[in-house]
Amino acid sequence: MLPSIIDHIKQIEHGFKHIIAAGDQILADQEEHHFDLALKLLADNSYQVRMLATYILGELSPTHPDALLTLKTRVADDQNWRVQEMLAKVFDQYCKVAGYEKSIPIIKKWLSDPNPNVKRAVTEGLRIWTGRPYFKDHPHIAITLIGTNKSDDSEYLRKSVGNALHDISKKHSQAVLDEISKWDLKEKKTAFTYQLAMGK
């Protein structure tokens, strides 16, 4: 079964649905050691297979601390942007299953990680943050958390921060303005994020 699944996903270059369907098929096999399999798949040369591994780890992560740790320490180092997009998706899934409010300590931990890909997985994965439970009722908390990386060295991350805040501003414009009005715009990296948050 596994070889045919792998062969199928390698034929498709775009999208997530086929990866998720393949992952669900593998996870349905109760005799498979899913974590060990995911680690093996992470070493594959094909980004589609590494996306599959990431999805499996994401599904395991709410009840498997080593799966969450692997996402943070290994998957976040993957050089393929599609794998990073899958990482963002599965981090949101982790928070959904664990509960967004209960996930705040993990969210804060990931947002303060040295690796910009770890921080971006949170910022991008939860977009639109205020469409998620808990943050829907506490937009100021979402805005504050997102804004912590406004002056990060990674432009890739700062784009995600600015765009995430701009998303929220469509429904909570004053709350976003209250936050970004405190920023030091003499700092070029912060000013870059500010422009994106303002939709400029």
**Residues 169-174: contacts with CB under 8 Å, at least 24 apart:** 169/197, 169/198, 169/199, 171/130, 171/139, 172/130, 172/139, 172/143
The answer to whether 26 and 56 have CB atoms below 8 angstroms apart is yes
pLDDT digits (tens, 9 = 90+) for 156-196: 999 999 999 999 999 999 999 999 999 999 999 999 999 99
pLDDT digits (tens, 9 = 90+) for 83-111: 999 999 999 999 999 999 999 999 999 99
| pTM to 2 decimal places | 0.95
Between CA 37 and CA 60 the distance in angstroms is 12
- Residues in the chain, total: 200
Sorting pLDDT into bands at 50, 70 and 90, what band is 2? Answer: confident
Tell whether the model's pLDDT for residue 81 goes beyond 90: yes
Sorting pLDDT into bands at 50, 70 and 90, what band is 24? Answer: very high
pLDDT digits (tens, 9 = 90+) for 69-78: 999 999 999 9
- Cα torsion 24, 25, 31, 33: sign: negative
